[in-house]
């Protein structure tokens, strides 16, 4: 059990003064929220070294300018610094062209030596987040990437902490209360199986060798590698390649850690910012958002999901606040590793029915679809099936059967409907694939215990800062889900992902 020294907003802000932090994943959604917040609350941070995938420093700099600091989330900071913004960024951010897939991130030895002497904290947020990514690609980033980050961390002479961003769903489809427990090397979610990461590497190499020996096309290779990832994940009890490889990443972190503290942050489904730097900022369409957009565009009339259950979501700024407080926290007892669930299901669960109701209300009042003459189209409520069997039965009746009949007609008419038939078939297969991938989340019956994070919250003195706003709120109880989804998140999804 972690004993944590008392903190307040000032001491957390103060902790970042004169610190050098290496951050991976800064061009992603969560990375931007983190970089912006550190620079906004602690302009005296020494340096943020951002590892960005790019062929050289110039390209990394360009990516930083166009994909990070040019984004709306930096508006407040821009306003604060006015004409001095560019200079401020130049002084505080050092872009590094590198890739976590490579040993030492592919940095040259001079760069490496200088960095290793300077870095106080490493934040590893880089990942491939696609549920059904090719096994080799997901493994390279989420597993070998974690290994390379650890190896690099071991070379950093004054490193205090390695903070690794994982996901709460490394728990797979467990039910009941899920503790903030580390994975032991080789542990799986399926009784009777044992995971050997080296064997997985060999399996991937062998699959690649075979594909090349058979002169497979790129498309066929991709398909085989995606299938291999799902097959291996399911064999060991995880529902998809993403969470499986993230779980292996955690195992590696725990196994290879050095003298420094390893903090593993496990957020659930991260949604748009609740408050900071302003409500509703987000990037990328994932999980629940793709369902919402599919509904709003009227291409998804039904989906899988039990509306009697809850959905564990957590706004991005809450995750970043928790990360920053976890970095600043002084653990009184020597712990090699600590895990924090940054989740909502235990303290303030969001009922799925409420989320769906907010979605219906929002799009009934603000429909995205227009008719032929520009008039708003009347929206119908989306239908949810609470079991896969029900959904499969319904789709077989309403879609698969007519599709098979069209297939027969097409044969009888010497292929006149081939293009149309193939298009519908592809859509049907894609839809069913999405259903299978999302079902574990729509039907999730677990609840994430966040006792460690609660201890961190208890250690925070929640006095208001000078502006009267609380700088490091990471309490899900402060979210009114109905208001958040209707007024903040859904408008944010529409604004930032639909145009």
- Do 460 and 409 touch, CB atoms closer than 8 A? no
Which one of residues 13, 107, 121, 141 is an interface residue with ligand NAP (CB under 6 A)? 141
Q: Any contact of residue 125 with ligand NAP (CB under 6 A)?
A: yes
> Can you name the residues that pair with 467 across neighbouring β-strands?
none
Does position 344 bind ligand NAP by CB under 6 A?
no
| Among residues 126, 138, 263, 339, the one that binds ligand NAP under rule CB under 6 A | 126
Nearer Cβ to ligand NAP (24/241):
24
- By CB under 6 A, the residues from 34 to 93 that bind ligand NAP are 51, 53
Q: Which of 19, 20, 22, 25 binds ligand NAP (CB under 6 A)?
A: 25
CB nearest ligand NAP: which residue?
28
The answer to whether 137 contacts ligand NAP (rule: CB under 6 A) is: no
- Which of 149/391 has CB closer to ligand NAP? 149
Out of 19, 246, 340, 421, pick the active-site residue: 246
Structure tokens belonging to residue 395: 């789709």
Structure tokens at 446: 């677990």
In angstroms, the CA 416 to CA 411 distance is 8
In the chain, DSSP finds a helix count (H) and a strand count (E) of 20, 17
Residue 326 contacts residue 265 (beta carbons within 8 Å): yes
Integer Cα distance of 98 and 149 in angstroms: 12
Cα Rg, the chain, nearest whole Å: 24
Instruction: Identify which range of 124-132, 330-338, 389-397, 402-410 contacts ligand NAP by CB under 6 A.
Output: 124-132
Q: Which is nearer to ligand NAP, 7 or 291 (CB)?
A: 291
Contact 338, 331 (CB under 8 A): yes
Per-residue contact track with ligand NAP, 369 to 398, x per CB under 6 A? ------------------------------
Q: ∠343-294-172 over CA atoms, to 5°?
A: 35
Pull the structure tokens for residue 484: 């958040």
Which residue is listed with tokens 């594909």? 211
Tokens of 411: 């044969």
**Least Å from the CB of residue 52 to ligand NAP:** 7
Determine the Cα–Cα distance for residues 407 and 417; give it in Å rounded to an integer. Answer: 8
Name which position in 165, 170, 309, 320 contacts ligand NAP (CB under 6 A).
165
Cβ closer to ligand NAP: 102 or 423? 102
> Cα torsion at 220, 226, 232, 237 (round to 10°)?
-150
Cα–chain center distance at 155: 27
* Site for ligand NAP contains 452 (CB under 6 A): no
Residue 180 interacts with ligand NAP (CB under 6 A)? no
Which range, of 1-9, 69-77, 263-271, 353-361, touches ligand NAP by CB under 6 A? 263-271
Q: Provide, rounded to whole angstroms, the least separation between the CB of residue 308 and ligand NAP.
A: 23
> Rounded to an integer, what distance in angstroms lies between the CA atom of residue 316 and that of residue 322?
10
The question of whether 242 is a catalytic residue gets the answer yes
For helices 401-412 and 418-442, give the axis angle rounded to 10 degrees: 160
- Closest contact distance (angstroms) between CB of 270 and ligand NAP is 4
Q: Is residue 27 close enough to count as binding ligand NAP by CB under 6 A?
A: yes
Give catalytic status of residue 421 as yes or no.
no
Residue 61 CA to residue 42 CA, distance in Å, equals: 22
Helices 241-256, 145-155: inter-axial angle, 10-degree rounding: 20
Among 24, 69, 272, 345, binds ligand NAP (CB under 6 A): 24
Instruction: Point out which span in 19-27, 189-197, 272-280, 422-430 binds ligand NAP (CB under 6 A).
Output: 19-27
Question: Of 22, 30, 328, 329, which lies in the binding site for ligand NAP, with binding defined by CB under 6 A?
Answer: 30
**CA atoms of 287 and 297, how far apart (whole Å):** 16
Residues 265-324 that bind ligand NAP (CB under 6 A): 267, 269-270, 284, 286
Residues that bind ligand NAP (CB under 6 A): 24-31, 51, 53, 99-101, 125-129, 141, 145, 165, 167, 246, 267, 269-270, 284, 286
**Residues taking part in catalysis:** 242, 246
């Amino acid at each position: 059990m972690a004993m944590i020294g008392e903190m307040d907003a000032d001491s957390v802000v103060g902790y970042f003064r004169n610190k050098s932090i290496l951050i991976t994943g800064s061009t992603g959604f969560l990375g931007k929220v983190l970089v912006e917040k550190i620079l906004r609350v602690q302009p005296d941070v020494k340096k943020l070294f951002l590892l960005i995938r790019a062929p050289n420093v110039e390209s990394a700099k360009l990516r930083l300018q166009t994909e990070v600091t040019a984004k709306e989330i930096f508006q407040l900071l821009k306003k604060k610094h006015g004409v001095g913004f560019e200079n401020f960024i130049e002084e505080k951010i050092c872009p590094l062209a590198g890739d976590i897939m490579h040993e030492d991130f592919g940095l040259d030895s001079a760069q490496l030596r200088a960095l290793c002497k300077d870095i106080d904290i490493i934040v590893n947020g880089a990942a491939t987040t696609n549920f059904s990514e090719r096994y080799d690609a997901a493994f390279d980033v989420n597993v070998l990437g974690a290994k390379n980050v650890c190896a690099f961390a071991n070379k950093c002479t004054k490193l205090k902490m390695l903070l690794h961003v994982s996901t709460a769903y490394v728990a797979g489809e467990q039910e009941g209360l899920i503790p903030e427990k580390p994975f032991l090397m080789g542990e799986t979610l399926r009784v009777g199986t044992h995971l050997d990461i080296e064997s997985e590497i060999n399996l991937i190499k062998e699959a690649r060798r075979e594909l090349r020996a058979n002169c497979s096309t790129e498309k066929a290779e991709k398909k085989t590698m995606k299938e291999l990832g799902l097959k291996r994940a399911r064999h060991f009890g995880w529902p998809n390649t993403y969470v499986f490889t993230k779980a292996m990443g955690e195992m590696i972190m725990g196994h290879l850690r050095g003298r420094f503290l390893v903090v593993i942050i496990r957020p659930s489904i991260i949604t748009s910012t609740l408050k900071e730097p302003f409500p509703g900022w987000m990037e990328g369409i994932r999980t629940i958002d793709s369902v919402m957009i599919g509904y709003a565009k009227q291409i998804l009339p039904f989906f899988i999901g039990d509306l009697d259950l809850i959905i564990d979501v957590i706004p991005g700024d809450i995750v970043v606040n928790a990360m920053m407080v976890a970095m600043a926290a002084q653990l009184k007892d020597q712990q090699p590793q600590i895990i924090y669930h940054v989740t909502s299901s235990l303290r303030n669960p969001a009922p799925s029915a409420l989320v769906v109701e907010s979605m219906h209300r929002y799009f009934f009042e603000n429909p995205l679809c227009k008719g032929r003459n520009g008039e708003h189209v009347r929206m119908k409520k989306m239908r949810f099936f609470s079991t896969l069997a029900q959904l499969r039965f319904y789709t077989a009746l309403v879609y698969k059967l007519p599709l098979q009949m069209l297939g027969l007609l097409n044969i009888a008419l010497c292929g006149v409907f081939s293009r149309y038939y193939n298009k519908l078939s592809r859509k049907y297969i894609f839809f069913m694939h999405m259903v299978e991938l999302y079902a574990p989340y729509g039907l999730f019956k677990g609840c994430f215990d966040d006792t460690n994070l609660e201890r961190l919250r208890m250690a925070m003195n929640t006095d208001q800062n000078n502006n009267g706003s609380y700088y490091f709120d990471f309490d899900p109880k402060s979210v009114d889900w109905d208001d958040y989804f209707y007024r903040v998140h859904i408008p944010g999804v529409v604004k930032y992902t639909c145009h």
